[in-house]
Structure 1
Amino acid sequence: MTDEKNYLEDMDRITEAFFRFKNKLIEEKYEELPVKMTTTKYRMLKTIKQTDQCMVADIVRNLELSSGATTLILNKLEEENLLTRKRYEKDRRIVFLRLTKQGEDILHKISESRKDFFTAALKTLTDDEKMQLMHLLQKITVDMDL
């Protein structure tokens, strides 16, 4: 039981350190942006970029948010000139989302910051250790259905 307790305490400590490091590195970069950025906003921008003819329903499904919460955040992103909405001419109920140039630029900056974060976080690992870590994390996320 002591080994299990130590293991869980170690996992807690590692997880906390990882998130503190992530928050420090990424959120400092977020502060440099001309708009207030959150992880949810970032994920929305990324989904819009990656989804051909992205609709609100795609955001709701991919991010597992309520339609109300999604609409509020999309409104904010639109106010910040990061995305535009365009109604489908054949069915006005359908609204397509598209990133603006500013949205594309901010998404690129955040992606670069995330890349810098992971590079810094993993710099002490060898290439083999990085591959092993990726394999283990993928295994965990599959098992957790994430």
Structure 2
Amino acid sequence: MHTAEFARLLNRIVKDYETHMEQELAPALTMSQLAVLELLEAEGSLKPSDLIPFLATTPAAVTMLLDRMERGELIVRQRDEGDRRIVWVSITDKGKQEAERGVRVREQYLGGVLDRISTHNQQLLVYLMGKIAGTK
């Protein structure tokens, strides 16, 4: 079995990626905030509870994350006019700009990593990762 070597390499790849992303996104953005902004861009306004499955965290942690994002003017929260118990989270113009910047940072980093191997091997890697992730 190659599980130990796979685990070692996966850990190194993830650590290098997270370190790079956090350094390049700071101070205006974190990886979790980028994930929220990308979801809001794709889906439009969402309730905070809609974010939980994508962030794999607790409701309290989502609230704290949204508090920081609102202070940073990346999102706005508004009460539903029909049911005041419901809060809708929306992306701001500043949030859209930061999301674009974050995606550029990620694409530049991953592009550089993938450029280490041929286009054919990139396709193969993505295919194999899809198999491992259970999506292909």
Summarize the alignment of residues 52-131 of structure 1 with structure 2, pairs less than 5 Å apart.
Answer: 52-131=44-123
Structure 2 runs not aligned, ≥5 long:
none
* Matched position secondary structure for 2:84: strand
- Distance (whole Å) between structure 2 residues aligned to residue 8 and residue 40 of structure 1: 28
What's the C-alpha RMSD, in Å, of the aligned pairs? Answer: 1.8
Q: CA deviation at 1:26?
A: 2.0
Runs of 4+ in 1 over 3 A off after TM superposition: none
- Distance (whole Å) between structure 2 residues aligned to residue 88 and residue 8 of structure 1: 49
Larger radius of gyration: 1
The total of aligned residue pairs comes to: 135
- Distance (whole Å) between structure 1 residues aligned to residue 48 and residue 5 of structure 2: 41
2:17 paired residue number: 22
Structure 1 runs not aligned, ≥5 long:
none
More strand by share: 1
Question: Relative to 1, partners in 2 of residues 1:58 and 1:30: Cα closer, same or farther, differing over 3 Å?
Answer: same
